[in-house]
Amino acid sequence: MSGNVGGEVRAEPNLTPLLDIVFQLITFFMLVINFSADNYDQRVRLPVAGSAKPIEGARAGEERLVLNIDRDGNLLWGGKVLGVELAGQEINTQAQLIKLNLKSAGKKLKSGEPLPTTIVIRADKATPFSQLYRLITICQTNGFTKFALKAMSAEG
């Protein structure tokens, strides 16, 4: 038997695949953070509620539509301020898109059946209730029945 007594055997792992995966994960999370931040308009100052808590029973695949409402009762959508009439048209468009998505996914809504999407309302603390009620009524007219109101916790 012959061998090299003084020689060392080195095993160096190839880290290139690991680095590729790490960079892909970083890119994925950066994209997810950017998309979710678009739903929250910084111009809306949420009311403070002592009993504010996260929505219970929220499923991972549950669809949500976030409506930001300013202090005058206007809908903030895509960086634009929409009055009641334009807000109604936008909500109607979103309802039609949800119905098309359900249809393309093979799910059929029966006549009069509500849409499965939850409307998350982020209304400014100075928004008049009459304006808020008007937008909720428009949502209900378009088939939305699940609502969640956002508020800030008194603790944080």
* % of the chain beyond a pLDDT of 70: 79
- Name residues of the chain where pLDDT drops below 70: 1-7, 34-42, 50-61, 153-156
Q: Is residue 135, in this structure, part of any structural domain at all?
A: yes
Q: Is residue 101, in this structure, part of any structural domain at all?
A: yes
Report the C-alpha gap between 119 and 149 in whole angstroms: 8
Q: Is residue 10, in this structure, part of any structural domain at all?
A: no
In the chain, the number of structural domains is 1
Q: Is residue 40, in this structure, part of any structural domain at all?
A: no
pLDDT at 49: 72
pLDDT at 38: 53
Q: Is residue 140, in this structure, part of any structural domain at all?
A: yes
Contacts of 16 (CB under 8 A, 6+ apart): none
Coil, strand, or helix at residue 140? helix
pLDDT at 12: 85
Domain residue limits at 120: 48-153
Report the C-alpha gap between 144 and 138 in whole angstroms: 9
Report the C-alpha gap between 121 and 129 in whole angstroms: 13
Q: Is residue 34, in this structure, part of any structural domain at all?
A: no
The secondary structure of residue 4, as a DSSP letter, is: -
* 80-109 tens-digit pLDDT: 888 889 999 999 999 999 888 888 888 888
Q: Is residue 36, in this structure, part of any structural domain at all?
A: no
